[in-house]
Structure 1
Amino acid sequence: MNSKPLIQIENLKKYYPINKGIRDVFRRKKSYVKAIDDISFTINKGEILGLAGESGSGKTTTGEILVRLQDITDGNIVFDDHDFIANSKEEEKRFRKEVQMIFQDPYETLNPRFTIFETIAEPLKIHGIKDKKEIYNRVLEVLEIAELKPAEQYAFRYPHELSGGQRQRVAIARGIATEPKFLVADEPVSMLDVSIRADILNLLKHLRDNMGLTMLYVSHDLSTIKYLCDRVIIMYLGKIVEIGDAKEVIENPQHPYTKVLLSSVPVPNPDHKRERIEIDDELPDQINLPEGCRFGPRCPFATEECISCDHTLIERRNNQWSACIYHDEELIISK
């Protein structure tokens, strides 16, 4: 894995204005949902970075911003030493070729009127390939890479003729058809049968190893993140609360929120007894966020000092960082 960052994100923010009525339009002080609130991280070349958190944490919004499906409110993003904001149609087209996304629902991401061949051929035509034979060969090639074999038997079927796993493989084939540098996978196995999830995860690993792809893997499933990812970021209410080596974070979590997430992961051993960490199921108001640590109102370890938490990441272990000032039954305040 190349240690040079492919993507650098600094002080990224995504706020959604709340307009409850006509009066709110004219108010000077507006209310916002802070989906992403001042986060910074890097994604190294050849790395699979996991992004985890419960619903509403901001992980999917982060992924959509990195493929320009959403605009940023503030912050700076550098992609492959280029400014993230395109200044011309040529730059925009280059970006679309180099960055692709696999969505969660394979049933909704494929046009039912297109054959599999047409679905994969469309981005090739958009990006300048005109020769029909070259397009045909490339479509069959990526279908083979996505393990839909023999490719000729799948190329001219329609999406309704495929299973859920096969449709997701088509979505992956479409994603790699233009030979991108970066791929965002937004919970690509959450809607698939458990029996085929490992096959899709192994396919993503194969793409990284053989194509040099860099990936952002968005998921709430920490077990798949541990299996697939090199590093993991844990998000809560728009903030990064922990980041580090995926295996280290999952086996030795430093933030209470990470511990809560892990305590809810099912263990396939019926004799294994895990202590469940009980918390309040209701999230805080995302408009009027709590003072200090955002997890504080639900945290079983919270103290009065947690009000002073500003979510600064503190190094706990080698390249493992946590935003919690409470650790090992003592308070550690970041200077």
Structure 2
Amino acid sequence: MPKTKTYVDPAGIHVIAPNFKQRLSGVTSTIIQLVPVQNRLGQKVAVLGPGLPSHLPHLRFRDLWKLWRRPEGADHRIWHARRNIEMLPGILMRDLLRMPLRLVFTSASQRKHSGWTKFLIRQMDAVIATSAKTAQYLEVPNTVVMHGIDCDRFRPADDKPAAKRACGLDPDLRYVGCFGRIRHQKGTDLFVDAMIALLPSHPGWSAIIAGRATPQHMAFEEELKAKAAAAGLADRILFVGEHTNIDDWYRTLDLFVAPQRWEGFGLTPLEAMATGVPVVATDVGAFAELIETVGEATGSVVNPNLQTISAAIDLLLSQDEVLHALGTNAHRKCREKNSIEKEASSVFSVYGQLA
């Protein structure tokens, strides 16, 4: 039986996070992870819309008329939109219905905006970019606030062999992983092809692909499984499906690969680094801003093609000491720079500028 949603009175809410898209996406995931932390820090945030878990504080659409009243302890509310379909209602409520709202928009896009999107963005009171690369595509003043990660959930294994056994893996093997949606855009085929080329020369390693293929990508996934089987590597290139305890699977890894061809931001490298796992990632999304490649490096950033990805992986598979050092740096720097608490505090600072 589905859990009953927790509905709250708008009077005590200072920030509204609308989510007007039913299907799970990176934006939805951001809201799910960030809102509890914001509330824990005293920011009084509620969500509005479908596709969000019941434990989050929800507003009812039928209570929106109450937004004409100022919230307790403030002279306005923040309407924090992350899509066009969420910016537009905010504009109508603020400008047409004269509700005491301030509009904030977070952009993760790394392409030129349409004329309509540019118009909507110009109506915002504040704009947040999730990376410096994203900020380059905005034509209005903005603040860069990078996504953060729950560093308590994503943490290194206390006992890595035990972590592997808990997931049904061989504790004597080392594992390189590629987690996320299985599709061409995510470069899952690049990872499989790299593993087919490299694993025969590295007998102590196996590969894990964790994630779901949506119906339109199931044939793509089956082709990859067939390719691994044809190479005689079906028992070393493991498709383990989608898991709610994905943090446990990160703790089984010794190396993580993010082979995306395109990405808006991309949280999986952060999840790996918070778990103390070094990363080889393509130069898309915010990966180049997340992964340090010089000094106290945390991994490698390469062009999104099979040759460069394979070469970067191959360089690390036989260097245990380097992997350990990269993983140690990754864990420490992620906690210092990319915690979700840091993201929530930075977002709150943007809200504060609108007082």
Q: Indicate the structure with greater helix content.
A: 2
TM-score with structure 1 setting the length: 0.30
Q: Indicate the structure with greater strand content.
A: 1
TM-score with structure 2 setting the length: 0.29
